[in-house]
Structures are given as structure tokens and as C-alpha cells.
Amino acid sequence: MLLWRLLMIATLLGAGSATLVSGAAQAQAQGVERPSHRRGPKPSVRKIKREKLKYKVMRGDSLKSIAARYKITEEEIKRWNPSVSRQLTAGRTLIIWATQSPGVQIIKEHTVQKGESLAEIAKKYGVKMGDLRNWNPTIKAGSLKAGAKVKIVSWKAAPQGTSRGAANGGRLDSAQPLTSGKGFFVRNPDRAYGTEIALNTIVDCIGETRDRFPKAHDLFVGDLSFKGGGYMKPHKSHQSGRDADISYYIKGGPDARRFTVATRQTLDVEKTWDLFERFIESGKVVYIFVDYSLQEVLYEHAQKKGKKQEFLDKVFQYPRGRGHSVGIIRYSRGHDDHFHIRFKCDSKDENCR
């Protein structure tokens, strides 16, 4: 009996083994790879590099618009700024961890000393050997000679809207576009990129005038600069993010979707002067170009408001004639339907002039 049971077990085991082998052979024949239970290398997880930025909230900003701008979520902004509420306050600084360009590239050249190796150079500058080889593809580790030049690349975070060069021959880096906000309409955001100073001052000053005159019509904002700056037809300037064309306040409230010619009779002097005064008091403005006939009515209005002669002489070109290069408010041809404002360079913009 025992012998018979042993024979039955052996028969069953043999059939099972045959079935397994047959299944494996069938899978192989069909080109199906059977799953392996052996441990392999862990899948690599690519870490997303984020850069810490400080973003100054402007009028009209929302969590949604800021999140869209930096390709992050509203929940992430709240997590990085625990005290933030859905109703943002203009002027507040938010911490943003953004997956954007690391900023301005800085390239240095290291002169190889006698007996110095690539590994020692990498350690000195705190960079990886792989990066060092990528930056210097012609240099071989075993053939490094004294006096050779080794390129070292680093990055410096760029401020928002870095103006480079002159207004009529410059560029613009890391800029954001101006979008329609309280008291103004932007014709084309693709032509409305500017420096941080330009955008914030426009938003703040127009918003403050609108607070004082709640029923004032929206102003029309035309061109500032392209995203990267450079020549913008038909302008000579508008190349480095520091120039903006803005409509005047007109009596009767014109269409805010276009520029409207202002005359001595149609210019809303009170509102326009209120806005100009805010721009001037900000300390961020170099020039405001307007038609000479409009200067006269603005000058007279400021005089009636009690402005001292010293102030008027400093601010206005009028009454010395349109040929005199003096004053913040001065004449330039073609500015009867809008004023052209130029902002100062940021102290951080070393190449701005």
C-alpha cells in the first residue's frame, strides 16, 4: 500500500513538471517574456530642479494667475506661504519655487597651474567632473597642460525684467508681460513686457488715481517691449523694457481700446495731472513725453494747485520752448493721443543705461 502511494505521488510530480516546462516553452515560442522575480536596479527618479524666487504681488494678481505664470499650483503657493489668503494684497512678497531658467549664465576661465588636475579644479569651484568635461570637450584629463584655459560655468538668479543697454538699443531678460488691471486695458500683452520697476509703477500709480476717481474711464496701454526686447516697429525706443505708451484721461470717457487725440479742451486735466504727479513722486520716472500744448494746461493746473516755482521748473519743459532739453515732462512729436513714459534703470541692472 505504501509502495502504491509513493508511485502515485511520483506520477503526479512528473506531470506537474511537464506542464511547467510546456508552459515556459509555449511562452518562449510566442515571444512572451515571463516575469522575473529577481531584484533588478531601482528605476531612476528624475528630480525636478526648482529655484527659489521672491515675487512681488501686483494689483490684479490672483493665486490662479501667478500659478499659471510659473507653471505651479495654487496649493503649492499656499504651502510655501502659509499666511497667504485667496485675496492677495498688492506689494506683498511671495516665495515661489519655480521650475524655470536658473537665470543669467556666468562664464569664467581658469588658468591651469603646473601639476593641477581636472579633479582639483572641479573641487576648487564646487562643480562636477562631468560638467567640467561638457564645458571643455577638447580638454582631456590626462593631457592637461599648465597655462591652458578651463571654462567654468555658473548661474546667477536674474531679477524680474533685467534691462540691458539703452532704451533705443537694448535688450530685456527674464521679463513678465503687463496684463489688463484696475483702471487700464492692455492692447497686446505680447508687446507689453517690461522691467519690474516699469510694471509695478504703472499698476500702482494708475490704481491709486482710479481709487481717487472711481468713475474715471480705463486708460489704454499700448506698447512697452517685446519679451526679449530689441527693435519694435515703429518705435526708436521701447527696446529694453523701460518705455510705455499710455492714453490720456479724456472728458466724456472715450473707448479704452484705442488712443484718442487730446486737446486743451478735451483733456481731463485734473485726472491726468493726478496720474502724472503720482508717477513723478514715485521717483522711478526719467521722462514723460507729451504734446507741448498739453504741457501748458497741465502746468497751469499744477500752478493753481499751489506747486512752487522750483518744482514747476524741475518738472516741466514749458514755458521755455519745445527745443529746450529740460524737465521730466517734455515735448516729443506724435504724443497728442498718448503720453510716452520712460522709467529709470533698476540698481541691480548693471548693464542698463
CATH fold for domain 104-156: Membrane-bound Lytic Murein Transglycosylase D; Chain A (3.10.350)
Distances (CA, A) of 302 to 117, 271, 311, 313, 320: 70, 12, 10, 12, 16
Q: What CA–CA distance (Å, rounded) separates 162 from 100?
A: 16
Distance of alpha carbon 274 from alpha carbon 208, whole angstroms:
9
Angle at 237 between CA 236 and CA 240, to 5 degrees: 140
**Is the pLDDT score of 6 beyond 90?**
no
Q: How many other C-beta atoms can be found within 10 angstroms of the C-beta atom of residue 133?
A: 14
200's grid cell: 509695478
Q: What is the DSSP letter of 217?
A: P
Q: How far apart are CA 162 and CA 156, in angstroms?
A: 12
Top-level CATH class of 162-343? alpha beta
Strand 329-331 to strand 285-290: parallel, antiparallel, or no bridges (unpaired)?
parallel
Phi, then psi, of 162 in degrees rounded to 5 = -90, 115
**The C-alpha cell that represents 343 in the structure block:** 522709467
* Domain 104-156 matches domain 162-343 at the CATH topology level: no
* Kind plus residue range of the DSSP H or E element containing 118: helix 118-125
Provide the Cα torsion 258, 259, 261, 262; round to 10°: 120
> Per-residue DSSP letters for 29-44?
HTTPPPP--S--PPPP
For residue 16, what pLDDT band results from cuts at 50, 70 and 90? very low
pLDDT of res. 135 = 78
Q: Single out the residue of 148, 147, 157 nearest to residue 106, CA to CA.
A: 157
What are the residue boundaries of the structural domains of the chain, listed by start?
51-98, 104-156, 162-343
Distance of CA 138 to the CA centre of its chain: 36
Q: How confident is the model at residue 351 (pLDDT cuts 50, 70, 90)?
A: confident
All three cell numbers of 192: 507689453
Given the candidates 3.40.50.1100, 3.40.1160.10, 3.40.720.10, 3.10.350.10, the CATH classification of the domain at 51-98 is 3.10.350.10
pLDDT band at 141 (very low <50, low <70, confident <90, very high): low
Average pLDDT, the chain: 81
| The predicted structure's pLDDT at residue 169 | 92
Burial 69-91 (b: 16+ CB within 10 A, else e): bbebeeebbeeebeebeeebebe
Task: Give 99-113 as a DSSP string.
Answer: -S---EEEEEEEEPP
| Residue 48 cell numbers, joined | 525636478
Of residues 57 and 17, the one with the higher pLDDT is 57
Q: Which single residue is written with the C-alpha cell 496684463?
A: 179
Q: For residue 340, give the nearest of 298, 304, 294, 290 by alpha carbon.
A: 290
Tens of pLDDT, residue by residue over 88-135, are 887 788 888 876 443 445 678 899 998 888 889 888 887 778 778 877
Asked whether residue 150 carries a pLDDT value surpassing 80, the answer given is yes
Residue 169 backbone phi and psi in degrees, to 5: -170, 50
Q: Is the pTM of this model over 0.75?
A: no
